[in-house]
Structure 1
């Protein structure tokens, strides 16, 4: 059966400019805030001279640590773990280069920006601790939290991993480096805030309107019900808009102080520092195997800027079977760097690069096909011994190898050339935990023949709005055109329980769609009851009334629900339902197999992507158009890490030297090719009634490793520090192959 496909229902609005994003909002009497950021990486503010700025035209106020805005509390819960806990303008201490030191509010954005340039800040500077290379020499255990991230994993508990590695017939141990990365979504963090008495309405791009409202309420010292977040369109997020950051806090607090609507839009350079990023990590992988390729030991030790990125825990524990496993994390605490936060597939992306590169290196040492090595170490259960609900990873390998033409691969590096280009193939596995959370959906029948489906989640480009319409149409037996989906509003469902999960963790579709089915069933039952009991209903008192494709049918009569509501003078029939609890008897994950071909110029070291195939096992595919878009975008996200993305920090100053889109390189059309995406489409009905699992982050997992493995096959040079750039390939070729250090051989 071919999965359904439908273009995004909001596509025309987005491509014509009709979609209204947060920064597009213009309210009567609105004024503009401009952020001023620090020019040192560590120290304190001695003085802030704002006299000239205050005298500039149109300036209403300038907020600084000496004239701060009023906040009640810092962030709580998960936000305090994954976002910046220090409130903006809280004190004179400078913790990182680019920290907010002032907010200028003026009648126009130009006046605010010009006045900001007149502010003079005097600092007492201290040497910053900004070099990850230096900091990782003295790491520390991560802080104790309620989260599992950062906790060591040893299976069995008393395993001596070094002894297990030594006892292996073939073993390798390598270190892989991943630099900082930045979300760089198209839409910057923006907020327009307005107060009516003690109630706040804020237009702010967010992945979770309900969570955003709750976090702002905590910071501002009001009840969550007093904060209304509106975010119907989000121009990209990738984890960077999962929690609340300073621009929204400052807009809300300034609007309350000035009693006027305030707009704050972070500048592109400011997004590199004030709204979080992916921290650097250094991972040491040790693999020990028998001569037939079966793993005897896996060691994955990581040093990371933050325990938010725990590559071993998130990745290695769920990939391959082994009797001996040791995963540890150390962090580099108290660095003078912007806050590290979640970024698309946190931990999984970086961890998969290290693990899947190491597996490729082990395959080389064994003289074994990389697919065969992975199949021989197929994992059937998670660490707790729970079986996976639906796992077709081996089929992903088979189908992907056939579609890609893997049989034409030459195992020996540099064996295939095309003129000045060395051609190579590589592959990697992608695994991402799947799940869902409780949420509530409202389904409403209206007299105009339209049914609405409402939930407070977000569509950050995933296609959620379209999927809500499609599932609502299927559940109600209506054309999609007669379904009006609503999301991106913290007060949805209309009369609902604000428990929306939001678009986080590749779980939104699996979370929301079961609730749509349940709510539709409840709404239909309520509509039938209304048809039987309401005054003016032609079916009043009838037996055997049933709902079918938008009509109420009984006793030879068939009435559209819209007509029924008109006859009964009823404004709407509405019902809510929540999704049921997740079956805890199984483990859940989505899977993919990536296959990549590259061409590397033998003279310049330039590596070009030439082909990419990925085969995906992610449960039922509810809309192939948006699902393919998600996988393609995820693959490109991972390939960006392999080809070009890298945040560069000046160790002496803590300044991010490439905090702009000219120097921070992202893939453009010329860097990529059409990506072949194939879905297996096996519904996972244990996870949810719709059978769908998450895919938003799956594509990015393993993509960088597939690219790097293909580069090795093309050149014989192994790049273990991303990105794979010409200087690294040329330097390695000049000094001899990176794999000159052969795998160590254990006892026979």
Structure 2
């Protein structure tokens, strides 16, 4: 295990995040947001704001900054503020004030008077269910509804009619916000070379491209820098409102501009996770073999229908072997802040519904929930011929059951003083993906090597992974590697999202190492080299020929070179036509529910994961434990309360509940390690998101085991656990 390279900087406060940058003459911006959920801005009186002390500029849809909407983004639709007068949700950015100080900008912003032409607002998912629309095709092109039927079965209804045991229930999950510790923010600086934007994001070169497009600037003149990111989870995949506004205002004013969302604005001026309503029906034989599975899912989405939470396609389509399958995905457009990718999009809320339903089926069959899951373990996604490249879910459950002590689980209520104690389990799955990535490696004359890419490390440990994979690929000690990332001036490293960074950038490191080694050997064989005319090999950082041996640094010095560089790229290829790829896991949870207060507390958690090769056990364990904690948060704490007018009643850290130390026991994380070299040359699959998957269901299943009360909505509230 290797400690995170960035840990000392972060724990001592020496890591510079976006708004830690300060420049001479820097001004400060403050974002103005709407106070209605739907309508058109009729007028904005900025007279008082413009004349306030220190104010340098006031920008609105009536007097906007020169910006346009970027034409495309790999992370989804990019929204740019102040482009028109339409208001689609409460808390939408509608103005920007720049002043000499933050306090002056904030106070001036409060003096802007806004009048609206109000329109009726749709803010309730439940009220919109009757008019739900079919979702657009999924990211892989799949239609919103699809089915796989066994030979001789004419409909999914016939399959259920022929099932001896059927469970059918509806599950609900709440709207969530990414709630990163670092608010969305930016510092923008123009100089003779162009624009530099310092802003936390999930891919520096992607942000640079979006900002250049929005400003209609030469892409070569825009640089994005983000060596440290204070949490992202999908919420910083596209350029934020402060980054666009700061960049445009800095150009207009000829001064550096810093802008950051307030904590309350983070809940509305960014995108979050959709609420879902999911109906799942399971039909099985009396031995537990699944005969039919139907998953009809509906999610909220923004008024522009820009994102779909793929709950049915992301879980029921992939997880279990079943003879008959029918899934559908619908959307309800609402006048609420936009939705987007959030840690395990689709799988996190979808697994709550599916794994709760599997538990209900196990109860109906009087079968152990683990036995039921393993009995329906799939060799390939239903309806697909491509088998899983590597799957050891059965070993995850066996290992987890042994570590957790599942064999001692009582079939029903167990008491410990005033507490009811229950245990639950669930499957975890998340697709193993890769994005195109390029990495540059430079060998220096001091025998050190630099491994560089523009990708981001939003807490995932990628910086450390680059050093480890670089050291392994170059066959030199890890302490001789200097990893660099978070700068669009570096080779494009893809996005740190979708649990792809290690597999994507790591695979590119392997290619780059081979390229720079070939270049080094070519240099060694060149005229004037100490190895001229000799057959040279590279081994452990040294060049060897006969009885002659030199480090690569010694060779570079001998031929008068300070360095030698090469880049390597990796992209998904024909392996996608040969196998299906996923990571797998087994979640276990013990919950205590107080007999009288109905307070629910998690007392033990165990997760065992099959994620291919683990590059650094310490950072991987941290990522998985963090995901499991987020699953507990979704189950017992986290959810936005939406008032009829579209305002978030708890859109701050006082009302939006998140677990603290007292809520979380020790988290037991274990791996079953089988390198998956069919997926990538490293054999590593992602771990960043699978940790959250299934944990909310494991909590709810444990609550049922403790109390006999089946709660089909999260977060689980005290009133849900009152005697029924």
What TM bracket, shorter-length normalisation?
Answer: over 0.9
Structure 1 contact 188–266 (Cα < 8 Å) conserved: yes
2:365 aligned residue? 366
1:482 maps to 480
The answer to whether the 8 Å contact 1:149/1:308 transfers is no
In 2, Cα distance between equivalents of 1:181 and 1:561: 52
How far 1:47 moved relative to its partner? 2.0
CA distance in 2, matches of 1:599, 1:146: 40
CA distance in 2, matches of 1:126, 1:523: 62
Task: Note closer, same or farther for the CA distance 1:503–1:543 as it changes in structure 2 (3 Å cut).
Answer: same
Note if contact 1:76-1:218 (Cα within 8 Å) is conserved in structure 2: no
Q: What secondary structure does 1:386 align onto?
A: coil
1:448 to 438, 446, 449: 446
After TM superposition, list the pairs within 5 Å mapping 1:420-499 onto structure 2.
420-493=418-491, 498=492
1:560 counterpart (551, 560, 564): 551
Q: Secondary structure at the match of 1:217?
A: helix
Q: Which residue of 1 is the match for residue 304 of structure 2?
A: none
**Contact conserved, 1:291 with 1:366, CA < 8 A, in 2?**
yes
Kept in 2: contact 1:445–1:573 (CA 8 A): yes
Work out whether 1:715 is the aligned partner of 2:693.
no
Shift of 1:55: 1.2
Aligned residue in 1 for 2:37: 41
With normalisation by structure 2, the TM-score equals: 0.96
Choose 435-444 or 683-692, whichever is displaced more: 435-444
Name the CA shift for 1:404/1:146 in 2 (closer, same or farther; >3 Å): closer
Among 535, 560, 565, the residue aligned to 1:569: 560
Provide the C-alpha distance between the structure 1 equivalents of 2:299 and 2:572, rounded to a whole number of angstroms: 34
2:268 match: secondary structure: helix
Specify whether residues 452 and 90 from structure 1 end up closer, same or farther in structure 2 by C-alpha distance, changes over 3 A only: same
Alpha-carbon contact 2:69-2:78 (below 8 Å) kept? no
Aligned partners of 2:95 and 2:176: how far apart in 1? Answer: 26
Counterparts of 1:522-561 in structure 2, within 5 Å, are 522-533=515-526, 535=528, 537-539=529-531, 541-561=532-552
Task: Look up the match of 1:57.
Answer: 53
1:89-488 correspondence runs (5 A): 89-143=82-136, 147-148=140-141, 151-156=144-149, 159-196=154-191, 199-306=194-301, 308-333=308-333, 335-382=334-381, 383-412=383-412, 414=413, 416-488=414-486
How many Å apart are 1:506 and its aligned residue?
0.5
TM-score normalised by the chain length of structure 1: 0.93
Which consecutive residues of structure 2, in runs of 5 or more, have no partner in the other structure? Answer: 302-306
CA distance in 2, matches of 1:561, 1:391: 41
Question: For 1:690, which of 682, 691, 696 is the aligned residue?
Answer: 682
Q: Structure 1: which 4+ aligned runs deviate by more than 4 Å?
A: 144-147
Q: Residue 636 of structure 1: which of 629, 632, 640 is its match?
A: 629
Provide the C-alpha distance between the structure 1 equivalents of 2:485 and 2:637, rounded to a whole number of angstroms. 35
Name the CA distance, whole Å, in 1 between partners of 2:384 and 2:210.
Answer: 33
Residue 555 of structure 2 aligns to a residue in which SS?
Answer: helix
Q: After superposing the two structures, state which structure 1 stretch, 278-287 or 200-209, moved more.
A: 200-209
Bigger shift: residues 275-284 or 69-78 = 69-78
Structure 1 135/78 Cα, relative in aligned 2: closer, same or farther at 3 Å?
farther
Q: Is the 8 A contact 2:443 2:565 kept in 1?
A: yes
SS of equivalent residue, structure 1 residue 102: strand
Residue 171 (structure 1) shift: 0.2
- Distance in 2 between residues matched to 1:338 and 1:435, nearest whole Å: 28
**Residue of 499, 502, 506 corresponding to 2:495:** 502
CA distance change for structure 1 residues 707 and 692 in 2, over 3 Å: closer, same or farther? same
Deviation at 1:337, TM superposition (A): 0.5
Determine the C-alpha separation between the residues in 2 that align with 1:474 and 1:293.
47
8 Å CA contact 1:188, 1:265 repeated in 2: yes
SS of 1:273's equivalent in the other structure is coil
Q: Distance in 2 between matches of 1:133 and 1:504?
A: 31
Among residues 654, 658, 663, which one is paired with 1:662 in the alignment?
A: 654
Secondary structure (helix, strand or coil) at the match of 1:681 reads coil
How far the C-alpha of 1:49 sits from its partner, in A, is 1.5
Query: Does the 8 Å CA contact 1:290/1:296 hold for their aligned counterparts?
Result: yes
Corresponding residue SS for 2:229: coil
CA distance in 1, matches of 2:158, 2:449: 64
Instruction: Evaluate the alpha carbon distance shift between residue 198 and residue 102 of structure 1 in structure 2; reply closer, same or farther with a 3 A threshold.
Output: farther
What do the CA deviations read for 1:56-86 (whole angstroms, capped 9, x no partner)?
111000001111111233442544xx3454x
Change (3 A) 1:138 1:198: farther
Q: Counterparts of 1:700-739 in structure 2 under 5 Å?
A: 700-730=692-722, 733=723, 736=724
Shift of 1:249: 1.2
Structure 1 residue runs of 5 or longer lacking an equivalent are 737-748
Matched, 1:603 2:596: yes
Aligned partners of 2:361 and 2:81: how far apart in 1? Answer: 48
Q: How many angstroms apart in 1 are the aligned matches of 2:275 and 2:628?
A: 20
Q: Secondary structure at the match of 2:510?
A: helix
Q: How many angstroms does 1:50 deviate by?
A: 1.2
SS at match of 1:316: coil
> Which whole-Å deviations, capped at 9, do the CAs of 1:296-320 have from their partners, x for residues lacking one?
1001001111352010101111111
Residue 8 of structure 2 corresponds to which residue in structure 1? 12
